Amino acid sequence: MTTTSGRPGIFAVRDVRSLITETAEEGHGLKKAVGATQLTAMGVGAIIGTGIFVVIGKGAGIAGPAVILSFVLAAVACTFSALSYAELASSIPVSGSAYTYTYATLGEIVAWIIGWDLILEYGVSVAGIAVGWGGNLNAFLDAAFGFSLPDAISKSPSEGGVFNLPAVFVVLAITFLLVRGVTESARVNLVMVGIKLVVLLFFIVVAFANFGTGNFTPFAPAGVDGVTSAAAIIFFAYIGFDAVSTGSEEARKPERDLPLAIIGSLIICTVFYVLTTVGALGIASPAQMEGSDAPLATALDEGAGISWAAAILALGAVVAITSVVLVILYGQTRIFFAMCRDGLMPIRLAEVNQRYGTPAKLTIGLGVLISILAALVPLGTIVELVNIGTLFAFVLVNIGVIVLRRTRPEMPRPYRVPWSPVLPIIGVAFAVYLMSDLPWETWVRFAVWLAIGILIYAFYGYRNSRIRNGPQSTPGWAKEEQR
């Protein structure tokens, strides 16, 4: 779509073929280095973390034992969107996830909005997850050694501390790892995913060995409303499978590996979540878990009276959350990378380091900013903000599948969502339904965030967009590489 001046308008759409070929032609594409197993591990690594180790307590407090159904409802809601992600990721194997897919289907302004939204989902949540990492580290130190870090260096100013040193440490350590390369990052993540699954299996075995049915009645004290309200919070526990799609450009066989990884990671995590939730309720009441920052460890300690097992679980939580920081920060850098490469953000940040094959400048810059945020800001309302941002992205991805089927029916689709447009429409309906259960304050904060993004687009992104400025916007370093 063009304006009367002949320049592309705000709803200009990127050509799918150019999106795929452009990176190789311009010499700033990412190294293809990961396969289906590593991508699936990235999905599991991003999903299993703060959600199951922390949010399960909040969900149980809202829905009671029926929180089991909340986990299932949230998984079903994610499944429809996961199918849409799988189709777009296999069809458009380019870094950027929902941002790139939206650029190819709904236009630049919508792509900018979703890209800005994903900065909230990924970037801000990394800071919150890092804060949770510090809390779990203290819980482990206390359970294992009877020692914990002083509040001055383990809590934000609003919580009575000076700065959160553990949160800063984990963000900067992961930043260094991501700069070194995606292969190294994927290998480390694979090890951490293995550890966290072993720890969850350990919890499930111990919980079922001490299982009782007394905590399952009344099953749904808050009725259907409690189940759906808890599902809107529990949804945070499933955020992460979409991070697999941010690795599209680095997948060796994206047409096969991406659908397998996206859907496979969601299935694996759902099975673990349901078994873990049933086990937790078998040894502890919802009230015991609700008020705890480490509900699963609390269930073992107070519910089953097995303090040594609680220490092991606390260590598992530290490892689990570390892998979440790694994958979510990785996803953030790739989305930002795509936006920079398109000119909507400063294009020089998209330069790929020749030694490591990663966007090193961008990764370091984001790592430093997020570490500052993690040092000074408490977890607060991050869960609700991240949830609404993710659900909004799901709405646009499902719509993108429908639009692209109409506008580009001839485009190769290695994976196709069955019964389209019915399933994508159901995906939209589930996302909107869960969004409606979030507090109105969250909607206000989300609206303010989007308004700030629109201003940045109006004063910078629109004027510097490569779709509007053409080949001359290619930076000098990229032109040198073409020679």
68 part of a folded domain? yes
481, two tokens: 């590489």
| Cβ proximity of 126 and 132 under 8 Å | no
75 part of a folded domain? yes
168 part of a folded domain? yes
* Helix segments in 380-421, DSSP class H: 382-407
Other beta carbons within 10 Å of 440: 7
* 238 strand-pairing partners: none
What backbone torsions phi and psi does residue 249 show, to the nearest 5 degrees? -70, -20
What residue ranges of the chain have pLDDT lower than 50? 2-6, 27, 381, 472-483
Q: How many domains does the chain have?
A: 1
Closest-CA residue to 16 (of 481, 347, 405) = 405
207, two tokens: 């919980």
7 part of a folded domain? no
What per-residue confidence (pLDDT) applies to 384? 64
What per-residue confidence (pLDDT) applies to 29? 57
Handedness of CA 408, 410, 413, 418 (dihedral sign): positive
Residue 2 three-state SS: strand
| Cβ proximity of 142 and 420 under 8 Å | no
Closest-CA residue to 319 (of 200, 192, 172) = 192
What is the distance between the alpha carbons of residues 391 and 408, in angstroms, rounded to a whole number? 25
Kindly state the DSSP code that residue 8 receives in the 8-state scheme.
B
| Cβ proximity of 351 and 481 under 8 Å | no
Q: Please give the single-letter amino acid code of residue 145.
A: F
**Structural domain of residue 190, as residue ranges?**
34-470
pTM of the predicted model as reported, rounded to 2 decimal places: 0.78
252 part of a folded domain? yes
| Cβ proximity of 231 and 74 under 8 Å | yes
CATH of the domain at 398: 1.20.1740.10
What per-residue confidence (pLDDT) applies to 66? 94
Number of residues that this document lists for the chain: 483
